[in-house]
Structure 1
Amino acid sequence: MSTDRILLGRIGAAHGIKGEVRITPFTQYAEDIASYGPLTTDRAGLTIEIAEVRAQKTVLVARLKGIADRNQAERLNGVSLFIDRAALPAPEDEDEYYHADLIGLEARREDGSVIGEVLSLPNYGAGDLIEIRDIQSSDTYLYPFTKAVVPEINLKGGYLTIIVPLDAPVGEEEPD
């Protein structure tokens, strides 16, 4: 399932008194967010263009065109930054995907039985995860987004295959 817009980042708090803002990037290479040109937002009629950007710890500090003081910058806190999907190049490798293309796919076991739907692909610092909403209980489950756990992705077919890890506690050996 594809979407027309791809989320590239989210503006956070103002930084300093000259109108700079902090941005949490969702791009593979953080500073690339500035190279996409004008970005649409989740606020009607608001377009953002990044004039300058620099990395600072886990965020970017950016100067935005048309934003000259802290008060203007503070009003942008929480604004999401998007690019049209059509403006992005196709992935170079057949094993590379835009996360937005995976959201909404059916999650199936190896036998083809449907277990749920892909909700998101979060990364909390230890690698990408895939969040699946169970179709029976509506509970959500996180799995490592690795080739071992997600061996097949079929965008045209609208599904991916999940090999659900064993329920054995970590560190315990299986009996012989």
Structure 2
Amino acid sequence: MSETHICVGTISGSYGVQGELRIKSFCAVPEDIETYSPLTNEDGSRDFMLAILRPITNGFSARLPDITNKEDADALRGIKLYARREQLPSLPDDEFYHADLIDLNVFDTGGVLLGRVKSVQNHGADDLLELQLAGSSTTTFLPFTKASVPTVDLASGRIIADPAEGILPAAPKTA
């Protein structure tokens, strides 16, 4: 769905007993999630006309028209909310939607395939690219900074990385 839709948030459960939802926004301006309504679920089978009521810890309290009690709100926990790509703002050349980075091949500065982007994580500081290493089931995290990732070429579907020493596992020693 990343071709036409971008994940902009998630429903993290109920808030109170009157059917309000707890919403986490992944938008640069968190309140903007409401302006992209109607949002959809991952497969596009359901629309959500989200109305933000107020900010709460780690997100917003929001309403959906057809949700009137805590049980219905809790049943939606974990649903990712998607906006149509054309609704979202254009990004500067050095910014990317996470969905556009996932599954890109990652090469080192010498052209050697390091792996592919499995996910993009953010634990409070900079974004981290989770790399599925080439020819391995091992993953590692690469800081998504200009120093570690000097080039992202969406048109050719590749990333050029210059990982700091110790980021990638050491190659096995041969006798």
Q: What residue number does 1:3 align with?
A: 3
- Aligned 1:135-146 pairs, distance under 5 A: 135-146=134-145
Q: Quick check: 1:108–1:114 contact (8 Å CA) kept in 2? A: yes
| Contiguous gaps of at least 5 residues in structure 2 | 168-175
Q: Quick check: 1:5–1:83 contact (8 Å CA) kept in 2? A: yes
Matched AA of 1:127: D
Q: What residue number does 1:103 align with?
A: 102
Q: What is the CA–CA distance in structure 1 between the aligned matches of 2:43 and 2:161, rounded to whole Å?
A: 36
Q: Quick check: 2:52–2:60 contact (8 Å CA) kept in 1? A: no
The TM-score normalised by the length of structure 2 is 0.87
1:51-98 alpha-carbon deviations (Å, 9 max, x no partner): 22422121221122222222221221111111122332321x211111
Q: What residue number does 2:132 align with?
A: 133
- Aligned 1:7-26 pairs, distance under 5 A: 7-26=7-26
Matched AA of 2:107: R
- Aligned 1:89-100 pairs, distance under 5 A: 89-91=89-91, 93-100=92-99
- Aligned 1:38-53 pairs, distance under 5 A: 38-42=38-42, 45-53=45-53
TM superposition shift of 1:112: 1.0
1:96-135 alpha-carbon deviations (Å, 9 max, x no partner): 1111111111100001111100111110112211111101
Q: Quick check: 1:51–1:64 contact (8 Å CA) kept in 2? A: yes
Identity in percent: 37
Q: What is the CA–CA distance in structure 1 between the aligned matches of 2:114 and 2:157, rounded to whole Å?
A: 14
Q: What is the CA–CA distance in structure 1 between the aligned matches of 2:53 and 2:36, rounded to whole Å?
A: 12
Moved over 3 A (4+): 42-45
- Aligned 1:19-168 pairs, distance under 5 A: 19-42=19-42, 45-91=45-91, 93-167=92-166
TM superposition shift of 1:44: 6.4
Matched AA of 1:120: S
Q: What residue number does 1:171 align with?
A: none
Q: Quick check: 2:19–2:67 contact (8 Å CA) kept in 1? A: yes
The count of corresponding residues between Structure 1 and Structure 2 is 166
Matched AA of 2:153: N
Matched AA of 2:67: I
TM superposition shift of 1:43: 6.4
Q: What is the CA–CA distance in structure 2 between the aligned matches of 1:49 and 1:143, rounded to whole Å?
A: 36
